[in-house]
Amino acid sequence: MAKVLGFSFGSNEIQTVCLSGTKASPIYENRKRILLPESIELREVSAWAETQLGLLLDEFQPEALSYKLTRGANSVKEISRVYFTIGILNLIATRRRLAINHHNSPLSPRRLGLSRGADIRSHITSLIGDHPPYWDNHAKDAAIVAFLGLA
């Protein structure tokens, strides 16, 4: 039974959701929200990300990783924070020999076997439950990409 850690990256946070089981019977394991320090300098983002992502992988012990390729950041600072962190995640996955998949934004309902226009965030919540606090769109997107990584 595979354990997949899903990621959704924002300009000031990393949301993760860990699922196991199968697409037919997904099992919610846990989730975590990590905030980037407000005062972090751009030159510090990669080192910070390497430490934080390494700690997440040590904590969850996933067999595979999955992330949403974030688009629409508003500034160079936001773009850099998101893409530096995604780059470090890919580097760590390679070093640890973990399978890693990315999913384009916006996420398609058809990827989950739903009809066009269906609310995939409501659907994932119906499958794995509501997990407050901060069960927002970023957290649900992390759950969706983790779900897509299940067999």
**pLDDT, tens digit, for every residue of 2-48?**
999 999 998 889 999 999 999 999 999 999 999 999 889 989 999 99
Q: What pLDDT is recorded for position 104?
A: 85
Q: How far apart are CA 47 and CA 41, in angstroms?
A: 11
- CATH code (residue 138): 3.30.420.10
Q: How far apart are CA 10 and CA 132, in angstroms?
A: 18
Distance, first Cα to last Cα, the chain: 9
Q: How far apart are CA 112 and CA 107, in angstroms?
A: 9
Q: Which residue type does 49 have?
A: A
Residues 83, 91 contacting (CB under 8 angstroms): no
What range defines the domain where residue 36 resides? Answer: 3-148
Check whether 72 has a pLDDT greater than 70.
no
Conformational region of residue 89, where left means phi above 0, alpha means psi within -120 to 50, and beta covers everything else? alpha
Tens of pLDDT, residue by residue over 44-61, are 999 999 999 999 999 999
10 Å CB burial of residue 67 (0-12, 13-18, 19+) is: buried
Q: In the numeric block, which tokens belong to residue 92?
A: 């760590």
Considering the entire predicted model, what is its pTM?
A: 0.93
Looking at the 3D structure of the chain, how many domains does it have?
1
Q: How far apart are CA 7 and CA 5, in angstroms?
A: 7
Q: Which of 121, 106, 100, 19 has its CA nearest to residue 53? A: 100
